[in-house]
A and B are shown apart, each in its own frame.
Chain A
C-alpha cells in the first residue's frame, strides 16, 4: 500500500482549515435559509418605524417646550441637540441590528432542558462555535435586507439631521469596529444568560427580567448621558452600553477622539471576558448535564 492510500483509509484528522471550513459551511447554509424569508423581513422592519416616529414626536414636543437657551445657541439636552437625539434613536436601531440575538439564550436553555443538546456532544461540532456561525449568518442576512428600509428611513428624516456632523474617516472606522464588537458582546452575553439554564432549567422569566434591564441600561430608550450623575457613570462602566449606546455615541462624536481607542479596547475586553465566561459556564454545565429525553 502506498502512503497516500493509508492516509485515506484512516479517518481524516481535523486540520485547522477543515475546522474553519466546517463553520463557514454552517454560515453559508444558515444564510440561504434566512434569505428565503426576505419579504417577512422587509415588512417587520417597516413596522418597527412607527414607534420610532411617535418617539421622535415626543422628543420634538419636549424640545419645543424646553426653556430657551442663550441667544445664538441651540437647545441641548446634556449636549444633545434635537437632531442628534433623532440620529441617536435611529443609530440605536443599527447598534441593535448587530448586538441583539433574539431567541439565542432561550434556545440554549431549551436544548439543555429537553436534552437536544446532546446532538452537539455526539458530533464533532462545538455548541458555541455552531451558534456563532449561525448567528453571524442571521445578522448578515438581516443587515443586508435592512439596508433598503433603513436608507429610506434616513432619507425621510434627513431634514431633522441638519445639525448632525458626518463622522470623519477615523470615527467611521471606529464605528464599524464598535459595531462588530457589539455583535461579539451581544452574542456572548446572551450565550452566558442561556447557559445559566444548566443550573435552573426554566429561565423564561429570568430572561424577561434580563432583557428588560438590558433595554434600559444599554441606552436603547435614551442616551445614558441624560441620566443624573452617579447613574451616568455607573452605566458607562457596565458592558450593556456596548450593545446600543456606545456605537451610536462614537459615530455622533460624543466620544472624544482620544478616547476612541481606549473605548474600543474596553469593548473588546468585555467581548473576550464574556467569551471566556461562556466557555467556563459551558464546561461546568456539561458536567451537570444529564441529557434528558430520547
Chain B
C-alpha cells in the first residue's frame, strides 16, 4: 500500500514538472476552465432571473448542486480522464504491453499514471461555489452533515470513475478511440442536473434507467441533496451499494477486457 502512495506522489510530481515546462500553455488551459465556469455561472444567473426555483431547488440549493458537480468533474478530469484516453491510445498502438509487464496492479497504473494539473484548479473553485452557496442559504455548521457529504461525494466520484473505467475498457474491442471523449461527455450530461427534472411523464423512463439500472443520476444528486435538501436514507443506501457493486464490476470488466487484448504490430 505504501508503495502505491509513493508511486502516486512520484507520478504527480513528474506531471507537475512536465506542465511547468510549458507554463504559458498551462495558464491558458486554466484560463479556459475559468471561462467555462464563468459561462456556467452566467447561465445559472440568467435562469434564476426568470424563476425562483428549478425543479424545487431554490437558487442557493441549485448553486450548491452546481458547485458539487463542478468539483466532481474537476476531480475526475484531474485524476482519470487523460489516463482513460491514453489507455485507448495504448491499446491501438500496442504500447499497453509495457504497462502489463510492470510488477504493479494494472488498474492502478492505467488509471492514475498521469495527473492533469491544469484541471485541478476546478476543485478549489468548486469548493468556493459550494461554500458561497452554503453561506447564502445561512447554513449552520454541522460537522456530522459535512462528514456525511464528504463520504457521499467520494462515493459519487468512485461511481463516476467506475463508469469511465468500463467505457475505456471497451476500447480494447472498438480500437478506435476518437469517440471516447464524446461518449464520456454525453454520459456526464446526465450528472449535471437535479433528478427532479426527469420526474415527469415521458422523461420518467430516463429517470428510472439512470437511477436504478445505470445509476449515473446518483453521482451528483445524492451528495448534493443530502447536504442542502433532505437526507433520504434510501437514496444514500442506494448510492453506497451502487458504488460498491460498480467498483467491483468495473474492475472485473477491466481485467476481462485485458484478457481480450491482443497487442498490436510487431
Which residues does A use to contact B, with CB under 8 Å? 44, 47, 50-51, 53-54, 57-58, 60-67, 77-78, 202, 205-206, 208-209, 212-213, 215-216, 221-222, 226-228
CA distance A67 to B193 in the complex (A): 21
Q: Given A67-B51, A205-B25: A221 and B43 within 8 A (CB)?
A: yes
The answer, yes or no, to whether B136 is at the interface (CB within 8 Å) is no
Question: CB of B102 within 8 A of chain A?
Answer: no
From the candidates A66, A202, A227, name the one contacting B51 in the complex (CB within 8 A): A66
Q: Is the CB of A213 within 8 A of B189?
A: no
Given A61-B196, A208-B28, A54:B189 Cβ within 8 A: yes
Q: Are A205 and B29 in contact (CB under 8 A)?
A: yes
Q: Cβ of A60 and Cβ of B51 under 8 Å apart?
A: no
Known pairs A57-B197, A62-B50, A226-B46; A213 contacts B190 (CB<8 A): no
A60 to B24, CA, bound (A): 42
Checking B50, B193, B197 against A66 with a beta-carbon cut-off of 8 angstroms, the contacting residue is: B50
* A63-B51 contact in complex given A212-B32, A221-B39, C-beta closer than 8 Å: yes
Contact between chains at A54 and B197 (CB < 8 Å): yes
Whether B192 is near chain A, meaning CB under 8 Å from some CB there, is: yes
Q: A205-B29, A206-B28 are in contact. Are A47 and B52 (CB under 8 A)?
A: no
Chain A nearest CB from B104 CB (Å) reads 33
- Which residues of B have CB within 8 Å of A205? 24-25, 28-29, 32
Q: Which residues of A contact B131 (CB under 8 A)?
A: none
Determine, out of B53-61, B105-113, B220-228, the stretch whose residues face the partner at the interface: B53-61
Q: Which residues of B contact A221 (CB under 8 A)?
A: 39, 43
> In the bound complex, what is the Cα–Cα distance between A205 and B56 (angstroms)?
39
Give 7 new A-B contacts, CB below 8 A, not counting A212-B36, A213-B35.
A47-B183, A54-B192, A58-B193, A65-B52, A208-B32, A212-B39, A216-B39
Query: Distance in Å from the Cβ of A60 to the closest Cβ of chain B?
Result: 7
B198 adjacent to chain A (CB < 8 Å): yes
Contacts of B196 in A (CB 8 A): 61
Is B143 engaged at the interface, CB distance under 8 Å to the other chain? no
Beta-carbon contacts under 8 Å, B188-208 to A: 189-190, 192-194, 196-198, 200, 203, 206
Q: For B142, list chain A residues within 8 Å (CB).
A: none
Which A residue sits closest to B203, measured CB to CB?
A57
B contact residues around A206 at 8 Å (CB): 28
Q: What distance in Å separates the Cβ of B81 from its nearest Cβ neighbour in chain A?
A: 16
Q: Are A62 and B51 in contact (CB under 8 A)?
A: yes
A60 touches B197 (CB 8 A): yes
Whether the pair B200, A60 counts as a contact (CB closer than 8 A) is yes
Q: Which chain A residue has the least Cβ–Cβ distance from B32?
A: A208
Shortest CB–CB separation between residue B36 and chain A, in angstroms?
Answer: 6
- Using CB atoms, name the residue of chain A closest to B190: A54
Chain B residues lying within 8 Å of A222, measured Cβ to Cβ, are 43, 46
Q: Which residues of B are found within 8 Å of A67, using beta-carbon distances? A: 51-52
Asked whether any CB of chain A lies closer than 8 Å to the CB of B186, the reply is yes
Decide yes or no whether B175 CB sits under 8 A from chain A: no
Of listed B32, B49, B51, B186, residue having the most chain A CB within 10 A = B51
Assuming A47-B182, A205-B28, A212-B39, is B52 touching A54 (CB within 8 A)?
A: no
Tell which of B29, B54, B179 has the most Cβ of chain A within 10 Å. Answer: B54
| Cβ–Cβ < 8 Å partners of A63 in chain B | 51
Is B47 interfacial (CB-CB < 8 Å)?
yes
Which chain B residues border A64 with CB–CB below 8 Å? 55
Could you show 27 A-B contacts with beta carbons less than 8 Å apart? Answer: A44-B182, A47-B182, A50-B190, A53-B206, A54-B192, A54-B193, A57-B193, A57-B203, A58-B47, A58-B193, A58-B197, A61-B196, A61-B197, A62-B51, A66-B50, A66-B51, A67-B51, A202-B25, A205-B29, A205-B32, A206-B28, A208-B32, A212-B36, A212-B39, A215-B39, A216-B39, A221-B43
Q: How far is the CB of B2 from chain A (nearest CB, A)?
A: 38
